[in-house]
Amino acid sequence: MRGLSHSRLGRTVKRYDRSYFDRWYRGPEAPRGEAELRRSVRLAVAVTESILNRDIRTVLDVGAGEGRWQPILSELRPEVTYLGIEPSRYAVDRFGATRNLREGTLEELHLHVFDHPFDLVLCADVLHYLSRAEVLAGIAELGDLVGGAAFVEIFTDEDPALGDREDFRPRPAEWYRTILHEAGLRPLGLQMWVHRDLFGDLDEMERLPWPTGGHAARSTSQRIPPTG
């Protein structure tokens, strides 16, 4: 499990080099293997295609790491166009050409030029490693790039401690739900989200009801202190 690095917001971060990926993605400490990854890919593709009623054509992966989703997506949908945004220089140098990785971070998404939203947007195992400022700097742009559905994998303060815990920021699920809602995303469950423009097209039992209690209307500043 990992997050983005090289922030412009002043945070000192660890290096995401080859040894990091070997340890947390391929070594005995890796919390998930190839089978789990493939199940996540198939889930994200199936949900998105169900919403769009067609095969996916474009995928954006923010915090792509080594771009491990790309070869599996290509197996499932050979015509798909994949773009990964990744701050690790090692990952971009090694896999940039073969897996279409571009150097960048979540909070720098506005610096990239995108011709259109993407059918499927991925942001897997990223947000819980970022500071509050980093998340809020980029989450609205992320939401705007979702043309169909998003797989936003997040672990909260109530989830089991698995994988890399350095820089992990234990936050309540409510905080994430609120910022994603404000970014225009609506929950489907199983870490899947749909853009609000498509949410109303779903049948009632296809979507999760927004929790009552009014927390979506409260400011995120009331949840987590500025340093969170």
What crossing angle do the helices spanning 69-76 and 34-52 adopt, rounded to 10°? 50
What dihedral do alpha carbons 130, 136, 138, 144 form, nearest 10°? 130
Which residue is associated with the tokens 């220089």? 89
Q: Which of the pair, 226 or 143, is modelled with greater confidence?
A: 143
Across 11-15, 29-33, 83-87, least confident range: 11-15
3-class secondary-structure state, position 98: helix
CB 102 within 8 A of CB 112: yes
* Pair of tokens at residue 18: 């080859």
Closest CA to 148 of 119, 115, 122, 121: 119
The H-assigned helical ranges of the chain are 18-21, 34-52, 69-76, 89-99, 132-144, 173-182, 196-199
Q: Is residue 42 part of a domain?
A: yes
Q: What is the pLDDT of residue 218?
A: 44
Which CATH number does the domain housing residue 38 bear? 3.40.50.150
CB 121 within 8 A of CB 150: yes
Provide the residue range defining the domain that includes 139.
18-222
pLDDT at 222 over 50: no
Q: What is the pLDDT of residue 127?
A: 96
Q: Is residue 67 part of a domain?
A: yes
Q: What confidence tens digit (pLDDT) does each residue in 35-52 have?
A: 899 999 999 999 999 999
DSSP string for 139-203: HHHHHHTEEEEEE-----TTS---S--TT-----HHHHHHHHHHTTEEEEETTEEEEHHHHTTS-
Closest CA to 66 of 24, 106, 32, 107: 24
Q: What is the pLDDT of residue 209?
A: 80
Q: Is residue 116 part of a domain?
A: yes
Q: Is residue 29 part of a domain?
A: yes
Q: Is residue 197 part of a domain?
A: yes
pTM: 0.84
How many structural domains is the chain composed of?
Answer: 1
Q: Is residue 1 part of a domain?
A: no
